[in-house]
Structure 1
Amino acid sequence: MNCIRLHHPLVRCLHVRLYSMDLSEVVQKLNSLAPLTLAESWDNVGLLVEPYSKKAVHKMLLTNDLTEEVVEEAEQQGADFILSYHPPVFRPLKRITSSSWKERIVARCLERGIVVYSPHTAHDALKGGVNDWLIRAFDCKDVTPLQHSTAAPQFSHQVTMQLATIDNAMAFERKLKNELNSARVFISTVGSHIMVQCQERTLPAVISLTNKVGGDSAAYLSITKLEKIPELGYGMGRQCMLSVPITIKEAVDKVKTYLSLPHVRVALAQKTDMSSEVRSVSVCAGSGSSVLRGRQSDLWLTGEMSHHDVFDATQAGTTVILTDHSNSERGYLVSVLRPLLTTLLETKVEVLVSERDRDPLQVV
């Protein structure tokens, strides 16, 4: 932080504080907040546009979608970092020209020295992320993800064996440590039992060493592939039971108030009306068909769904509320992400929310 002291006949003293944070540190903090491993495999997240001349970040603009109007807003605001919830670069670009709006955005950001970063589905899955924010439109209890995120285990395979004697087991453990000292393995010996955890590339060496134990001292050997581990509280979508049952009309009013929307679209479940009771809710910010499909809840809340998926839901007894895609996400930037990033970046980076960003679909 620098401090400039200005003097003027009418102003005794004025301090102008200039804050900044190195770009690499900003990116590291964003990645630590929502690890990119949480994102869906099809997504394009993280640092997307990095100008050649690396520099410090002074001002960050948050937007749900990065349009040319938002880039212009960033320039006018003096922002040198845009966090776009949806990735503006999704499919590979073969050229950067002025022929398409997405290419113009990349070219303009590079020319103006503006960084672009996108978290997207990493924040969809994040504990405390956009879906936890969305389901808070209701008074819930026992909130859980619809699809749990999973983390890869430290090792991919486990080899378990029993040797004839404790001495043989201890000798074999020493052999493993000596000959696999450059490989990442975990070895545990209890009596005559040995358990070795390793990566797949190390597995042949471990098996080869079992043949050097000698004689018939290895009573048995088993190999187990280690599965991914569910990460509690992380994942796509959210579901809950309501603390107190409400009517469909009350649910609609809650959503409109929470998202500051004058209108939403509603598809009533078969044999229900606006006074019917809602006891359970499932939500998915954005486009929720693939996450919500098959979930048994009285009410689904999402941004958009296909015509046929809506019909499938209502015929199965579920009422659907649609807000349009980004309307189910944008409020998260204002109420959660902006204050969170202000603290995370130690108030060294000014964090703004775009005023020009809006869903392309409007009810008229």
Structure 2
Amino acid sequence: MKSVNGNEIIQLFESWSPKKLACMPNDPIGLAIGTVNKTVTKVLVTLDVTMQVVEEAIAQGCELIIAHHPPIFRKLSNLRTDTPAGKLYEKCLKHDIAVYAAHTNLDVAEGGVNDLLADALQLKNRKILEHTYSEQLMKLAVYVPTDHADVLRAALASAGAGQIGDYDTCSFTTAGEGRFRALERANPFVGQIGEINVEPEQKVEVIFPSGQKNRILKAMLNAHPYEEPAYDVWEMALTTNEAGLGRIGTLPKPLTLQQFAELVKVQLNVPYLRVVGDLQQTVSKVAVVGGDGNSYIAAAKRAGADVFVTGDIGFHMAQDAEVNGLSIVDPGHHVEKVMIKGVAEKMAALCKDKKLPVQFIESQIHTEPFKFI
């Protein structure tokens, strides 16, 4: 059976939840403990990394843990093994268990925490609540002999240029004539040394996200027949690959706030929650932010939400929301546990597609610290 290096697993994970999506300054995402440059057969997926979770990983024979909440959130000034945190790190290292964290990048990613919460609440026609990421679009204009234009366009498309929404291989072409004279040390594809050459050419224009610039230019240069291709690259006013925190959408049918709160309890599997607002109010448009959503109350109101589902709402923030006509359902921070099943299933599917024999195990450890009595 083929062995799988942990780096391959992380590359697959970051193909849909890349680090660049992180929206918190200095978010401690990525590899936190150990190394992924080793054979990995089993991965434990968890919300939090506690001692009980590490013991679960050991019992299951896992070489890697993928977590949502980073196990090292602040810079360490020492690494003492007589502290609770130090003991946890020591246990991971002694058992060669690597820990990888995907925090706000997993919140933002398509199919990540907020989409999973929106799925659970059955939200339709959903949109991003607060945009936090986009890529600048760039345009390449390159002049190529007419007979080689199709080859060049195909190479650019294969490299990812010309993707616009649900369309690919998009380009614009203008016909014209190129003029040049090859000097003595040149090795011209067409024309003679020292003579003016007039060549039927096409100007091929394609757009692409700025992050793909190097790959696009490399593909163009490799496919172009000229020794010295003429081309221009510039930034456009448009952006692409919009992403952000939270989701807003509509319920399949309007509910009272009381009915919706009961739905949240069932769908997010919580025994209790806090509600702000008139329980008999009809709600239809719902905003959701996983974790602590205090900073997004204004965004939910601006987006026209009837009710905002999020955790850790403060007393005065709740009062302000109520005065401004925004109802709140607070099921707690721990509802982000939806990522356990979501990430495990997503990664299992990606690895199956790549024929990588890796097992993803959903942590069964309950890490909610609060108890209500």
Say if 2:121 and 2:267, in contact at 8 Å, map to a contact too: no
In the alignment, structure 1 residue 129 sits paired with structure 2 residue 139 = no
CA distance in 2, matches of 1:127, 1:293: 23
Q: Where does residue 207 of structure 1 map in the other structure?
A: none
Shift of 1:294: 4.0
Rounded Cα–Cα distance in structure 1 between residues aligned with 2:266 and 2:340: 17
CA distance in 2, matches of 1:320, 1:276: 12
Distance, in Å, in 1 between the alignment partners of 2:238 and 2:69 is: 27
Partner of residue 275, structure 1: 280
Which of the residues 347, 352, 356 maps onto 1:341?
347
Change (3 A) 1:226 1:91: farther
Name which of 59, 80, 84 aligns with 2:67: 84
The one-letter code sitting in structure 1 at the alignment partner of 2:337 is R
What CA distance in whole angstroms lies between the structure 1 residues aligned with 2:237 and 2:74?
Answer: 31
> 1:150 deviation in Å?
2.4
Please say if 1:50 is aligned against 2:34.
yes
Q: Which of 315, 325, 330 is residue 317 of structure 1 equivalent to?
A: 325
Deviation of residue 104 (structure 1)? 2.4
Distance 1:323 1:345, change over 3 A: same
Note if contact 2:132-2:245 (Cα within 8 Å) is conserved in structure 1: yes
Q: Indicate the residue corresponding to 2:296 in structure 1.
A: 291
Q: Give the superposed CA RMSD.
A: 3.8
CA distance in 2, matches of 1:235, 1:260: 25
Aligned residue for 1:362, secondary structure, equals: coil
Give how far 1:360 is off: 0.7
The residue number in structure 1 matching 2:266 is 257
Q: Distance in 2 between matches of 1:124 and 1:25?
A: 22
1:72 alignment partner in structure 2: 55
Please state how far the C-alpha of 1:125 moved relative to its aligned partner.
0.7
**Number of corresponding residues:** 299
Structure 2: which 5+ runs fail to align?
140-177, 183-201, 211-233
Contact 1:324 1:359 in 2 (8 A): no
Deviation at 1:122, TM superposition (A): 1.2
Partner Cα distance (1:259, 1:29) in 2: 27
TM-score under structure 1 length normalisation: 0.71
Any idea what the Cα deviations from partners look like across 1:259-280, whole Å, max 9, x if unmatched?
1112111122xxxx32220021
Give how far 1:290 is off: 1.4
Per the TM alignment, residue 99 of structure 1 is displaced from its structure 2 partner at its CA by 3.7
1:118-267 mapped onto 2 (5 Å cutoff)? 118-153=101-136, 229-232=239-242, 234-267=243-276
**1:293 is paired with a residue of what secondary structure?**
helix
Pairwise CA distance, 1:139 = 3.9
List alignment gaps of at least 5 residues for structure 1: 2-18, 157-169, 175-189, 192-196, 200-223
Give the match's secondary structure for 1:123. Answer: helix
Query: 1 CA distance for matches of 2:272 and 2:124?
Result: 27
Measured at CA, do residues 108 and 307 of structure 1 come closer, stay the same or move farther in structure 2, by a change above 3 Å?
same
Match of 1:93 among 70, 73, 76: 76
Q: 1:92 offset after TM fit, Å?
A: 0.9
Percent identity of equivalent pairs: 30
C-alpha contact (below 8 Å) 1:153/1:229 kept by paired residues: yes
Deviation at 1:151, TM superposition (A): 3.0
